[in-house]
Amino acid sequence: MSIHVEPVYADIEPLAWDSQFFGLSTARLNFVSEFSSAKGRITASQLDEYALVQAKIPAQQLHLADQLSALGFSLVEGEADLLLSVNSSSVSSLPAGSEECDKYQALITATPSDIPLLKAAATRVFAASRFRAPWYQPDDSGRFYATWVENAVLGTFDHECLLVNDEYGGLAGFVTMRNIGCHEARIGLLAALPGKYHQGIGKKLMSAAQQWCQNHRIQRLRIATQISNITALRLYTRSGAIIESTAYWLYRGRNDSI
């Protein structure tokens, strides 16, 4: 049986930073309407100009997955984007100066001296992601997220990195925050350190993130995570976040068959 697949209309955006960081000429598809004046029909020869081309499609638009598959793209990972309304009542109802209020409001901001430990933790915690084999090298994912957390501490990507300590004062987890405007913020990375799992660290990190939002007059907090990360999805939904959208990442390597 012959199956007809519609062509893909998109712009190809070269990703300079990714290309340099991974040592892999990389681009991303930005989809346009077939009827757009800026439309461009994507061909295999155009895609072959890059070692790797990424595409992110809304989960409900599976016809795009069929179209991309015909061009040699493969499914890599699913992604869920969640939205949490920041509620100030839990803090404003606490008596000023009370132990509970002081504990809740005592945010710890990472400093450059924390970077080596944070990078080492991120390398281990984020070893599995969409930056995976066979498209990337085995250590690329950990290296990418180690750079991310370093940049968050320095304020050059995310704006701040918050820390949570364990009961003995040792570092137990971190969360990076970015103000994206319009009274919204986004969590970049959130993780308990290796050996600190199942100790309620994730819940403490979410509380710290919400307190940071309140301090910056942020009303909505956005979080993205892999669909396969059930632990993270449970943490975010139990914190009150709702899934706003889902998507799929697909990749095409230069040597992928079509």
Q: Which residues contribute to the annotated binding site for acetyl-CoA? A: 229
Contacts of 36 (CB under 8 A, 6+ apart): 9
Cβ burial, residue 138 (10 Å; 0-12/13-18/19+): exposed
The Cα 191–Cα 231 span in angstroms is: 11
The Cα 78–Cα 25 span in angstroms is: 23
Cis peptide before 134 (omega within 30 of 0): yes
Q: Is 236 a catalytic residue?
A: yes
Cβ burial, residue 100 (10 Å; 0-12/13-18/19+): exposed
The Cα 28–Cα 14 span in angstroms is: 6
The residue from 136, 236, 248, 251 that is catalytic is 236
At residue 7, the 3 state secondary structure works out as coil
Return contacts of 241-245, CB within 8 angstroms, 24+ apart. 241/82, 241/83, 241/84, 242/82, 242/83, 242/84, 243/80, 243/81, 243/82, 244/81, 244/82, 244/83, 245/58, 245/59, 245/80, 245/81
- The C-alpha angle 145, 149, 155, rounded to 5 degrees, equals 135
Give me 232's structure tokens. Answer: 């993270």
Q: What is the set of active-site residues? A: 236
